[in-house]
Amino acid sequence: MAKPLEIQRVLELDKWTALQEKIALATDLALVLVDYRGKPLTPHSQVKPFCRLARAHPELAVYCEKCDARGALEAVRTEKPFIYRCHFDIIDMAIPIMVEEHYVGAIMAGELLVYEHQSDYEQV
């Protein structure tokens, strides 16, 4: 069985991290790059205080990573960015990264509170 292609072989993480931080500052979105299992590969950029606390808590961080993984897999399944509500009802988005039709990871963006049409988004 072939070993999964790792995102580090197609992206220079140091360069991506610098670009990620600039995008996060410009858009006021929290961003993080995750591998195909939903594990963070870069530090979170512009993470909001509530999410920082949740991700720092060992029991809650597991749910955050599961949401990231589930959101990213749904983005791969639909072959387009997937916008969803996390377990805390915060809006997030997963943008899949595909290399030669193989899913290698995703860009996770979000941490938005939406007061109207919240129920339009699937909760993962």
What does the chain come to in residues?
A: 124
- The answer to whether 42 touches 16, Cβ cutoff 8 Å, is yes
Type of residue at 117:
H
Query: How many of the other CB atoms lie within 10 Å of CB of 17?
Result: 17
Predicted structure pTM score: 0.87
3 confidence band (pLDDT: 50, 70, 90): low
The CATH number of the structural domain formed by 7-114 is 3.30.450
DSSP string covering 42-61 = SPPBS--HHHHHHHHSHHHH
In the chain, pLDDT over 70 holds for what percent of residues? 97
Predicted confidence at residue 96, as pLDDT, reads: 94
Residue ranges per domain, the chain?
A: 7-114
| CA nearest to 33, candidates 94, 124, 101 | 94
Q: pLDDT tens digits, residue range 66-123?
A: 888 899 989 999 989 999 999 999 999 999 999 888 889 999 999 988 878 778 888 8
